[in-house]
Structure 1
Amino acid sequence: MIFNVCTYVLIFVIEYVLAIKSGAEVLKADAFNNLSGVISTFLLIIGVHIASDQDETRLIGFPVSNQSELSNQKKVRLSRFRFETVFTLTTSILMIGIAVKVIGGGINDLLHAASQRVPNPIGIVGAVISTVLILIMLGINYFWGKKTNSAALLASAKDSLGDAITSFGTAISIYLMWQYDLKWVDSVASIIIGSFILLSGFEIFLESSLNLVDYFSPRKERQFKEQILTDPAIKAVLGVHAHYDGSLVTVEATVIVDYAMTVAQSFDVAQRIKMKLKQKFEISDAKILFIPNNINE
């Protein structure tokens, strides 16, 4: 993660400096696009750091109840993971702000296209350097992501591909402007990149907001229910609710079982259901509430 931040900072500095020197607004827009990568990665690091805190008596410095110690410790651990979502939501708001600035600048330049000048080709160098560095970072993240089975690194590699394509497109745009004297391309390309940042920001904002209010896909919850019903001890499933704690999924289910089932048996059933859900859906935890069926049935 630190490597990603350093790489994106280097790319931003190179592109921004060369954007000023070349007068290429599209390169400046791409620099801000990569700046959003710096912000998102940095905030993710903070979120992961909070999530990895081992002190179960405090939550980011604030004391928590010591009642029901075992369940409370688990609750505190899961609550910490939600800070990843909080920081992701913050990132999306910053991305939207950056996008509005980039799009506004592009529209303003387009309205005053007559006074615009063709960018200096040195801007192409900045975009090419950005593309190469991002591809190197992508390759490293993908390699280590596969080797360590890290979802965060694999997701970072996937996101970097879009940034690499954007930077390459920026290089092509500057070349076309320089070669064919197409001044308007600079403004249009800036608006396109800004729109890309805006769309990504809104998507992240929507997903993070839904996660924070405990929304979960009904289709996925139906799959959880169907899996729980495959256990022979379960007579019916009254309800299934799943939610995110950061990127972790916790499932809560209320099930009907035989009235004669003992506590020990219900514990074994709960553990069996948890194991099956973890194996098939890679959830982090499951809470099963048992209700006995009618004694006369």
Structure 2
Amino acid sequence: MVKKDNSYEENESVTWEKLQSEQFKNYRVVKRNLIFNVLIYVLIFLIEYWLALQSGAEVLKADAFNNLSGVISTFLLIIGIHIASDEDETRLIGFPVSDQNELSNQKRVRLSRFRFETIFTLVTSILMIGIAINIISSGIHTLMNLKTQKIPNPIGIVGAGISIILILLIYIINYSSGKETNSAALLASAQDSLGDILTSVGTAVSIFVVWKFGIRWIDSVASIVIGCFILYSGFKIFLESSLNLADYFNPRKEEKYKKVILNNPQIKSVPGLTAHYNGSLVTVEAEVTVSGKMTVKESFILAEQIEETLKQECGVSDTKIIFYPNEI
């Protein structure tokens, strides 16, 4: 009995399952980190709010609610990651999808799920912008009404100090894990945490200066500066997420992918190449010209070589190659 070779679909299915498995593993890491973030932020809020009541420091109370907003934004990211990591191939957030027996439909639905990470990262950036505007407007209001501002008890510095230490821990974990898993959600959360650290530092400095020297306007100016930093970070994440969802890709990176493909001596030219973001995954569609004498089997082997090269050298998750004859 002749042993039948695995078909192209079977090989592709195995490769795709491996890719999904790696991505699901990353999502589990991301989700675990974000849940840890929520617990820490809730703890920070309770500590700061209680010490704000004890010290009479309004700026510490504002910082407490700023950190509470971190709970909301992180919870939104968890929802996005949960949808992206859903393994139910028959529905997409409750809506029916095409027949999943076909590999192309499996890929389309899975890549659509991965984009939910970017969608909820975008929502998080909008929350950051809203928080920043609130902090800036609050700072301007207190700056215009300095006489009504009370001198706080220095115990409020303890609350801000605890906040700095705990959020710094969150930032380190999120940033390192975000780089390791290439997660936009964790990197966005890390940037958000960096803004929260600066907010807490500003809070501690403001309480100390107002208490020690009675310079009340320092509190307001510091909060406005910190609000501007958070606003900048929020706009940056918003822009990146919006461009990813609009299917924009850095042309310099696309040129790099072209050069990598052209390094293969069998490729005559690359007349077209388009790269896409699907969550944190990058996929590429390329048109290449080759010798018209190349057989189907040879072009298939060449396509596999190109896909593996782009994966190893550029981190591209999936590549689709369209062949054209160099001469007709």
TM-score, L = length of structure 1: 0.90
Question: Using the alignment, how far apart are the partners of 1:178 and 1:197 within structure 2?
Answer: 26
Q: Which residue of 2 aligns with 1:71?
A: 104
Q: Which residue of 1 aligns with 2:24?
A: none
Q: Which residue of 2 aligns with 1:275?
A: 308
CA root-mean-square deviation: 2.4
Q: Which residue of 1 aligns with 2:254?
A: 221
Alignment of 1:89-238 (within 5 A): 89-138=122-171, 145=177, 149-152=180-183, 155=187, 160-238=193-271
Question: Using the alignment, how far apart are the partners of 2:100 and 2:192 within structure 1?
Answer: 42
Question: Using the alignment, how far apart are the partners of 2:224 and 2:37 within structure 1?
Answer: 26
Distance change in 2, residues 1:244/1:28 (3 Å) = farther
Distance change in 2, residues 1:26/1:3 (3 Å) = same
Shift of 1:266: 1.3
Q: Which residue of 2 aligns with 1:8?
A: 41
- Worse-matched range after superposition: 36-45 or 26-35: 26-35
- Worse-matched range after superposition: 34-43 or 151-160: 151-160
Distance change in 2, residues 1:16/1:192 (3 Å) = farther
Residues 84, 246 of structure 1: 8 Å contact kept: yes
Residues 24, 186 of structure 1: 8 Å contact kept: no
Shift of 1:279: 0.8
Gaps of 5+ in 1: none
Cα deviation per residue 1:222-260 (whole Å; 9 max; x = unaligned)?
101111111111110011111111111111111111112
Shift of 1:163: 3.4
Distance change in 2, residues 1:260/1:200 (3 Å) = same
Distance change in 2, residues 1:32/1:232 (3 Å) = farther
Question: Using the alignment, how far apart are the partners of 1:58 and 1:17 within structure 2?
Answer: 45
Distance change in 2, residues 1:30/1:200 (3 Å) = farther
Residues 241, 252 of structure 1: 8 Å contact kept: yes
Q: Which residue of 2 aligns with 1:85?
A: 118
Shift of 1:61: 1.5
Distance change in 2, residues 1:10/1:138 (3 Å) = same
Identify the structure with bigger relative contact order (alpha carbons < 8 Å, sequence gap 6+).
1
SS at match of 2:226: helix
Gaps of 5+ in 2: 1-33
Alignment of 1:246-257 (within 5 A): 246-257=279-290
Q: Does 1:239 align with 2:272?
A: yes
Residues 29, 193 of structure 1: 8 Å contact kept: no
Shift of 1:40: 3.1
